[in-house]
Structure 1
Amino acid sequence: MNQAASLRAQAETLGQSLPALLAEAEHLAATLMLGEHGRRRAGQGDEFWQYRPAHAGDPARAIDWRRSARSDAHFVREREWQVAQSVSLWIDSANAMRFSGDPARGTKADRARVIGLALAVLLLRGGERVGLSGMMPKPGRAQMMALLDGLQTEDSQDYGAADVTGMAAHSRAVFLSDFLGNLDVTEQAMITAADRGIRGVLLQVLDPAEEDFPFQGRTIFESMQGALRHETQSAGDLRARYLVRLAERKDALTRLAAATGWHYHCHYTGAPAQAALLWTYRALEARA
C-alpha cells in the first residue's frame, strides 16, 4: 500500500470513530459540572460580580447607593467581564500519537482528541470562540462539527509540530501532544506565540509505558512510521538513561512554559481524563 492510500485509510478509520469520540468528549465535559461560565474579572457585562469600596476618582454614577446606605462607606457594584475569548487548539495527529502500550488502552491521539473536544464543549458552552490551529475560532454549537472535520486530517510525520500561524494576537491556545519530537520546534512556536501576546497551556499526553519503560531482554524499538529502529539485547540496561532523558524533557517543557507565561502539565492515558480536563480548563481560565 502506498503512502497516499495508507493516509486515506487512516483518515477513513478516524472519520468513522469521530462520532464516538464526540460522544465521549461530551460525556467527559458533563462530568465536570462546572456550572455557569465566569471569567472572574471586573469589566463590561450584565452579571453581578462583587462590591468593592469606592475609590477617589470613581464617578458618582458608579456608586451603588442602596448597598452604600447600609454602611458608613460607599461601594461600587462591579460586573463580571464577559468579553468572549478566542481559543485555538493544536491537537497533535502525528504517527507517534498513535502509540499505546496496551491493546486494552486507547492511543495517545484518542486521549488528546477527547480532552481537546471536551474542552471545546466547555468553552463553547461558556460563549467562547474556539477553533483548531489554522482555523478561525468561532462560537456556537455548530462549531463542534467544524472541529470534528478538522480532526480528520492525519499528519504523516513521526512527530508533530505546533502551528501558531493564523492565531489571533492576545488570544489563548492549548497544545496537546506527547512533545517527544524536536523540542526546538515547540520552543520556536511558543516564542512566536508569546511575542504576539498569546498565552495558554501545554498538555503532554503520554502512555504509561513511556513513563515506566517496562522493557527487558531483547527488544526492538521502532518508530510508528518505521523510519527509526533500534534493537538491543538488554533493554533493561537502557531504563535509567531513558528515565533521565524523559525527566529532562519534562523539566525543559516546564521551564519553557514558565518563560513564556504558559502552563505545563503531564497526563497519562492510564489515568482518568477528568483530572486532565479540569486542570487544562482551570489553567486556561487563569490566563483569561
Structure 2
Amino acid sequence: WEAAHTVWLWADPSPSMLYKSTGASVSKQSRALVLALAMAELLSRSGERIAWPGLTDPFTARNGAERIAAQLMHAGDLPAKPDLSDIRRFCDIVIVSDFLDPVEETMAWLDVLARHGVRAHLIEVADPAEETFPYAGRTEFTDPETGDKLTAGRAEMLGDEYRLLYAARRHELTGWCKRLGWSFTVNHTDRLASDALVRLHMAMTADGPSARPTAGGHAGMIASGDRPGKAVA
C-alpha cells in the first residue's frame, strides 16, 4: 500500500449504542468497540498506520490497539460524529455504528469521504430486537438521547411498518455504499464478532489500495422492560 496510507477506525459512542435486548449477548457499544479495537490490533501487528478521528493522529505501533483503548478511557465525552474532513485519498476508514440516524444525515456526514476519494467500510451493529420488533401489548418506548417517551397500547400493531422502515434504511445505505465502491457489513449482537471481521478483511483486501471511489437524530426508542437502548422506528 502507498506510504501515505492510513486506516482510520471509529466506533459510535452515542447513547443508542448502549442498547442490549434480552436476546443479545452484548450491547451494541461493546460489540462496536471490540470490532474497532480488534482491527486496530490486526493492523498494528502488520505494520499499518492507524488512527482514530478526533482522538489520535496516524501512528504505527505494535501495541496500537492498547494505545487507542487507553486514550478512549481518558478522552471524556467524544463528539457523536467526528470531523472527517482531514482524512484524505489513499486512506481507508472503518466506521462501526448502528446507523440509525436518518439516512440523509448519515450520507451528508460521510460525503466528505467520498469527495476526498477515501475508501470507507461501514459495519452496522444490530441488536436482534431492532430487526424483529418483538414487542406486544402496552409498551413504553423512550428515546435514549432526548428522553422523549411514547406509549403504544398495542405495540404489535406497529411491527409491520417498523420492520419495513428498518429494512428500507439498511437497503438505501447498502446501495449507496456499493455505488461508491465502499463495503457495508451487518453484525448482529447475538452472533460472533469474528463474522464481521472476516467480511471486513475480505472487503479491505479484495481490490487492493488502488480501488478508490471517484469524487462523486436518532429517531428510535427503548422498550420498557428491556435493557437501556432503543428499538428504532
Cα distance in 1 for residues equivalent to 2:20 and 2:71: 23
Cα distance in 2 for residues equivalent to 1:148 and 1:98: 18
Cα distance in 2 for residues equivalent to 1:250 and 1:178: 10
- 1:212 Cα deviation after fit: 1.2
- 1:142 Cα deviation after fit: 3.6
Q: Deviations over 1:124-162 (max 9, x none)?
A: 1111111111321211124333311343346588xx435
- Contact residue 40 and residue 64 of structure 2 kept, 8 A: no
Give ranges in structure 2 of 5+ residues lacking alignment.
210-233
- Contact residue 170 and residue 196 of structure 1 kept, 8 A: no
Q: Deviations over 1:203-260 (max 9, x none)?
A: 0001111011110000001122352321101000111001000111011111220222
1:252 and 2:172 correspond: yes
For residues 153-164 of structure 1, the aligned pairs below 5 Å read: 153=75, 160-161=80-81, 163-164=83-84
1:212 and 2:132 correspond: yes
- Contact residue 23 and residue 128 of structure 2 kept, 8 A: no
Residue aligned with 1:151, SS = helix
For residues 90-129 of structure 1, the aligned pairs below 5 Å read: 90-102=10-22, 105-129=25-49
In the other structure, the counterpart of 1:86 is 6
Cα distance in 2 for residues equivalent to 1:213 and 1:241: 10
1:173 to 93, 104, 107: 93
Q: How many residues align?
A: 206
Give ranges in structure 1 of 5+ residues lacking alignment.
1-80
- Contact residue 95 and residue 155 of structure 1 kept, 8 A: no
Q: Deviations over 1:29-51 (max 9, x none)?
A: xxxxxxxxxxxxxxxxxxxxxxx
1:194 and 2:114 correspond: yes
In the other structure, the counterpart of 1:31 is none
Cα distance in 1 for residues equivalent to 2:145 and 2:173: 25
Residue aligned with 2:35, SS = helix
Cα distance in 2 for residues equivalent to 1:198 and 1:149: 27
Residue identity over aligned pairs, in percent, reads 31
Cα distance in 2 for residues equivalent to 1:118 and 1:136: 19
- 1:192 Cα deviation after fit: 0.8
For residues 1-288 of structure 1, the aligned pairs below 5 Å read: 83=3, 85-102=5-22, 105-134=25-54, 135-152=56-73, 153=75, 160-161=80-81, 163-286=83-206, 287-288=208-209
Q: Return the TM-score normalized by structure 1.
A: 0.66
Cα distance in 1 for residues equivalent to 2:186 and 2:23: 22
Structure 1 240/139 Cα, relative in aligned 2: closer, same or farther at 3 Å?
same
Question: Which structure is higher in RCO with an 8 Å CA cutoff and minimum separation 6?
Answer: 2
- 1:169 Cα deviation after fit: 2.7
- 1:104 Cα deviation after fit: 6.7
- Contact residue 84 and residue 113 of structure 2 kept, 8 A: yes
Instruction: Compare the two structures and name the one with the higher helix fraction.
Output: 1
